[in-house]
Amino acid sequence: MDLWFSSLFLVVGLFLSSSAQTPEECKPLVTPLSMADPSVMYGRMNFLVGYVDNGILNDILKLTESSWVNISMSTSSPNDLVMAQHNKMNGTCIRSNVTANIEGDTAKVEMAKVISTFQSLPTCDGCKVFSINTTSMNINNLLQKMNFSSPTDKPEFNAHALYLMARGTTLEESDLEVFKKQASCLGFTREPDFHYNPENEFCKEDEGVMIIA
């Protein structure tokens, strides 16, 4: 029996060591893309797969049935993007419009005392992978706007998320595996926290409650 357990642990150890990405393998997967031409991000993108390392944000993902965003040019500045977000949570559509300011290869969004910066990473054609760092000074303000039933006792936090978005609603298995490798490089070694179910409908463009930042 001891020999059987030893053999099992050896096999598991070999599997884990072989599946882990080396720094050399990770570099091309997680090097941010240039945002010098914001137009490459314009248009509708559906949220398909995601990871997050924060409990309250994970709770929000668990309530999310579908989510999409339309990114367009801002009329106020060539370095700004307008992001119209549409989330279906527990059967309710919640939408918001935010402006993202681009500085170098990073975009910054602020809404209800929650600041997020994101970078675009290499991915498949018709897809976008965003590495997102979020700082909340009081996320209860945002939860209240989203009609969450109860506030959190830890409203201040820093969090990291990794989202894959696409023009379509499905993803090739090979593209998903590349995304999981990117996640592993960034410290997410589990299965995704969110994986879109194609049976779930998306909110229509003008449907639901509008959150004012």
Supply the CATH number for residue 114's domain: 2.40.128.20
**Mean pLDDT of the region 99-107:** 96
Contacts within 8 Å (CB) and 24+ apart, 35-40: 35/102, 35/104, 35/105, 35/106, 35/107, 35/120, 38/73, 38/78, 38/79, 38/81, 38/102, 39/73
**How many domains are contained in the chain?**
1
Handedness of CA 95, 30, 175, 18 (dihedral sign): negative
Rounded Cα distance between 138 and 135, Å, is 9
Give the phi and the psi of residue 162 in degrees, each rounded to 5. -135, 120
Task: Provide the domain limits for residue 194.
Answer: 41-211
pLDDT for res 125: 94
pLDDT (tens digit per residue) in 24-74: 999 999 999 999 999 999 999 999 999 999 888 898 899 999 999 999 999
Q: What is the mean pLDDT of the chain?
A: 87
Q: Is residue 22 part of a domain?
A: no
Q: Is residue 61 part of a domain?
A: yes
Q: Is residue 147 part of a domain?
A: yes
Supply the DSSP symbol for 201. P
Q: Is residue 122 part of a domain?
A: yes
For the entire predicted model, the pTM comes to: 0.85
Q: Is residue 24 part of a domain?
A: no
Q: Is residue 19 part of a domain?
A: no
Q: Is residue 13 part of a domain?
A: no
Q: Is residue 204 part of a domain?
A: yes
**Mean pLDDT of the region 174-185:** 98
Handedness of CA 196, 58, 123, 115 (dihedral sign): positive
